[in-house]
Amino acid sequence: MKYIRYEKFNMVAKITIDRQDALNALNKEVMEELEETLNNIFSDDVRCIVVTGAGTKAFVAGADIGSMQHMTKEEATKWSQFGNAVFLKLEQLCVPSIAAVNGYALGGGCELALACDIRIASENAVFSQPEVALGITAGFGGTQRLPKLVGCGVAKELLYSGARIDAKEAHRIGLVNHVYSGDVLIGKAMELAKKIAGNSPIGVRSTKAAINMGTLSNENGFEIESTLFGNCFQTEDQVNAMTAFLEKKKLDSFKNK
């Protein structure tokens, strides 16, 4: 691929958006390659994903404005639909994802981070949904995911104003989980990914599914959680892990069965 680097480290996959000459901005080619990459991720051999941008200046500095400038209403609608479909695919992957935000995460870049399960940032990270300053609205899920993550009041302020916030403020409002120096960011992301990958894959997948489906319909959230919780008790991993715990032994590995 031209713009996406995909690397695999045992059960952890790393996706790097590499378009440094444009601060890793999202154009059609980048999005198509990202979609293809996500389509080829299977939980049998990947248990956690780290998403990041190449270089130290930008995670993703937004969608490619040059390619959007002269879009018709129909073209812009289709572009938004395509972007939402790709990011929804990332959000709904059965395996967890971690955004390692190194530098600018603006517009579509912030929305890409929002589509991941967990966000960690470098000290030089900058977040913004600046679309209103361009006469448009966030089009890749920002109006939907940001309020759920940081609350409606804070999200509306950021979306209405287009203000930029630094990593410290992003951490304060709950947009990111941790802030690290740039030289250790990827290492910390991989460390967390490996910790997640070392747990029961069925348990982790079921937990992610319960959270995602529950937030779509809070009334059914507890029912969904209970169903998935019960499903785990049909697995060898649940039996082996609980047996090891009760016998005060360390489980060597999960069989994913």
- Positions annotated as catalytic residues are 111, 131
Alpha-carbon span 13 to 11, nearest angstrom: 7
Q: Which of 209, 256, 254 is nearest to 228 (CA)?
A: 209
Alpha-carbon span 38 to 215, nearest angstrom: 23
Q: Kindly state the tokens that stand for 200.
A: 């029961």
Using CB atoms within 10 Å of the CB of residue 156, give its burial: 0 to 12 exposed, 13 to 18 middle, 19+ buried. middle
Q: How far is CA 189 from the centre of its chain?
A: 12
The total of other beta-carbon atoms located within 10 Å of residue 139's CB is 21
User: Which parts of 123-196 are beta strand (E)?
Assistant: 126-128, 165-166, 178-180
Using CB atoms within 10 Å of the CB of residue 134, give its burial: 0 to 12 exposed, 13 to 18 middle, 19+ buried. middle
